[in-house]
A and B are shown apart, each in its own frame.
Chain A
Amino acid sequence: MATVKLGFIVKSLPYKTEASRLALTHAIASQTVEIYLEDGDMVEPVVAFIGDGVLNCLKNQKAMNMYGVTSLEQHLKNSLLLDMRVLICKEDMEKLGLSEDALIMDAEDIGGETKANIAPFSEIMKEMDSTNHLLFF
């Protein structure tokens, strides 16, 4: 039995490029690979938002209303609904003047129980160190 831990680190801003969207969709999709693994083997994705990437986590994104595309807010909530570990860099939040109230911290409105974590960069570094594979977006 083994667990392969994947770290998806998001530093890109949303919408202008697909980078941050791909990070979340790949993180969600990574769990489906378990059907190809031996019994008991698992994949554990972790998503961390750093730098300008923390702006992906803002609430009230109206991308669907404006452009008919799924919002990063919805992808992030789907990640939490699947009990994915989500970290948001505390220092970068503070640097950009963002409060916890402004960010998507849970997916309670769609039945999720897992919450996002605001973490110092040192903790995110430890998380990166503990992963088997690291992917930057």
Chain B
Amino acid sequence: MRLGVIVSDFRNMDETLSRLKADKLGVIFVSNGVYHTATKEGGKKSPLLEKSPNMYVLTEDLQSRGFSEVQIDSRVKPVTYSDLVDVIFNDYDKTIWI
């Protein structure tokens, strides 16, 4: 299964995400989930960035919160709303929101 996981919170996401297994796992950071991609807590990057090689962040939510694309982790691909529709429908069989 190709599973897309939408992450919209900054806290308490790790446990659920770590238990999910898929042939292809995609992590899509939206809303307050974008903080995972652009902040370093205690000098460390978010552990969620280790969960998948396929990671995306919604640029509209990123910029609303005062970040620019140059501030995000290099492993994360910035996507717009219209890009995100393509990602969800073309690259994943199922999408969940945690």
Q: Within B15-43, which residues are at the interface with A (CB < 8 Å)?
A: 31-32, 35, 39-43
The A interface, classified by DSSP as helix, strand, loop or mixed, is loop
Q: Is B10 a contact partner of A96 (Cβ separation < 8 A)?
A: no
Q: Is A15 a contact partner of B64 (Cβ separation < 8 A)?
A: yes
What is the total number of residues of chain B having a CB less than 8 Å from a CB of chain A? 20
Binding site for B on A (CB under 8 A): 13-16, 52, 55, 58-63, 65-67, 71, 73, 95-98, 102
The B interface, classified by DSSP as helix, strand, loop or mixed, is loop
Q: Any chain A CB within 8 A of the CB of B95?
A: no
Q: Determine how close the nearest CB of chain B comes to the CB of A75; give it in whole angstroms.
A: 13
Given contacts A15-B32, A61-B64, A73-B66, 13 further A-B contacts (CB under 8 A): A14-B65, A15-B65, A16-B31, A55-B35, A55-B39, A55-B65, A58-B66, A58-B67, A66-B61, A71-B64, A96-B39, A96-B40, A96-B41
Q: Is A61 a contact partner of B60 (Cβ separation < 8 A)?
A: no
Question: Of B39, B42, B43, which is in contact with the most chain A CB atoms at under 10 Å from its CB?
Answer: B39
B64 interface neighbour in A52, A62, A102, Cβ under 8 Å: A62
Q: Is B60 a contact partner of A16 (Cβ separation < 8 A)?
A: no
Instruction: State A96–B35 Cα separation when bound (angstroms).
Output: 10
Instruction: State A98–B43 Cα separation when bound (angstroms).
Output: 10
Q: Within B38-69, which residues are at the interface with A (CB < 8 Å)?
A: 39-43, 60-61, 63-68
Instruction: State A32–B96 Cα separation when bound (angstroms).
Output: 45
Q: Determine how close the nearest CB of chain A comes to the CB of B89; give it in whole angstroms.
A: 22
Q: Determine how close the nearest CB of chain B comes to the CB of A24; give it in whole angstroms.
A: 15
Q: Is A58 a contact partner of B10 (Cβ separation < 8 A)?
A: no
Contact string, B6-17, partner A, CB cutoff 8 A, digits 1/0? 001111000000
12 contacts between A and B (CB under 8 A): A13-B10, A13-B35, A15-B64, A60-B67, A61-B65, A61-B66, A66-B60, A66-B61, A73-B66, A95-B41, A95-B42, A96-B40
